[in-house]
Amino acid sequence: MTASIRDLRPGDLSAVESVVRVRRAALPFMISTVEGVAFELSCAHPASHHRILVAETPGGEVVGTAETGIAHDSPQPGQGYVNAYVDPARRGLGAGLLLLRAAEEHLAARGAVDAYAWVLDEPAHRAFAERRGYRPGRSAHFLRLDLAAAAPPALPQPLPAGVELRPGSAFAADPRPLFEADAGTTADEPGDVAAAFDDYEDWLAHRWNSPCLDKELTTVVLVDGEVAAFTLARTDGATRYASGMTGTLRAFRGRGLARLAKTASLHRARAAGYTEAFTGNDAGNAPMLAVNKWLGYEICATETRYTKKLTKRRTKELETA
């Protein structure tokens, strides 16, 4: 029995639920919800050519999924991404290979010259990627914190002079200061594909308005009334919390403000009933790894960033996809 590949269709609730199930099974360290996948599908930037593919058995069971598209916010053109996930209980049907081929064809047809993929640092996953022409690069860790077991370290009392903590919801009327902070710190993030956040409306539509972003748990540090640091909080609305991005603007670094933001957000998350917290770090980002270790996080998995040069391929079917 083999699988076939098709696009996830808007309004196909059963398939959306299956995509969430597969993502959670294959990569349980990430936040995935029905609302989030539906949002991802319907609100992607047109220039990203974003697609969510599903691999189905002849009986209609979704056994794998992939997200693929163009990094439209990168100043370097032709950078594509593909992340494929197969239900661990349904491997051996060829779904991973079919998903990867379909994604690469889509990227090549849209002018991509490089395909980037995150691959779990496990022998079978690495071998699969390398047999198909992907080459390893930098690594990143997933970290987990058991919020049910113990509270995070206490917040300093009182806060340093001039320092205030605000929830993200305090910026609901005008989130532009958070956009500017996010743009400024994202530019300094380690990565293979540079990102330039210069489109406020796009940031509002795809980051600020994401149903997975919890604006009450998102925490902002102000210094003398100016945004200095922040942590964006993503949740599944039930028990799982994740740091979506944590950053400190250059002028305020070295003062422990990122740690302060993360600590305050974790306390709020625990008070709200969340029992598991996840975050991710580039393996070379020693300062943030130290912050997360101080908070009690432990590494639970590692991914490697793989890349492959694509050959331009166009067929009548691809051009109309």
Q: In the predicted model, what is the mean pLDDT of residues 304-321?
A: 66
- Whole-angstrom distance, CA of residue 231 vs CA of residue 218: 6
Taking 80 as the threshold, does the pLDDT of residue 192 lie above it? Answer: no
> Taking a C-beta distance cutoff of 8 angstroms, is the pair 229, 54 a contact?
no
Q: In the predicted model, what is the mean pLDDT of residues 295-319?
A: 79
pLDDT given for residue 318 in this prediction: 38
Average pLDDT across the chain, whole number? 92
Q: In the predicted model, what is the mean pLDDT of residues 145-169?
A: 96
pLDDT tier for residue 50 given thresholds of 50, 70 and 90: very high
Which residue spans of the chain are classified as CATH 3.40.630.30? 4-139+304-319, 148-274
* 4-139+304-319 is a CATH 3.40.630.30 domain: yes
Domain at 148-274, CATH class: alpha beta
| Residue the block writes with tokens 């009548």 | 316
pLDDT digits (tens, 9 = 90+) for 51-74: 999 999 999 999 999 999 999 888
- Whole-angstrom distance, CA of residue 157 vs CA of residue 247: 22
Share of the chain above pLDDT 70, in %: 94
Q: In the predicted model, what is the mean pLDDT of residues 97-111?
A: 97
Edge-first strand listing for the sheet containing 163-167: 4-7, 51-56, 62-70, 79-86, 114-120, 298-309, 135-146, 276-282, 240-248, 226-235, 219-223, 163-167
Share of the chain above pLDDT 90, in %: 84
Q: In the predicted model, what is the mean pLDDT of residues 202-215?
A: 94
pLDDT given for residue 190 in this prediction: 62
pLDDT given for residue 5 in this prediction: 97
- Looking at mean pLDDT, say which of 72-76, 180-184, 308-312 comes out highest: 180-184
Q: What are phi and psi of 202, to 5 degrees?
A: -65, -40
pLDDT given for residue 317 in this prediction: 38
Q: In the predicted model, what is the mean pLDDT of residues 243-271?
A: 95
- Whole-angstrom distance, CA of residue 79 vs CA of residue 227: 32
- Whole-angstrom distance, CA of residue 296 vs CA of residue 152: 7
pLDDT tier for residue 313 given thresholds of 50, 70 and 90: low
pLDDT tier for residue 234 given thresholds of 50, 70 and 90: very high
pLDDT given for residue 314 in this prediction: 44
pLDDT digits (tens, 9 = 90+) for 140-150: 999 999 999 99
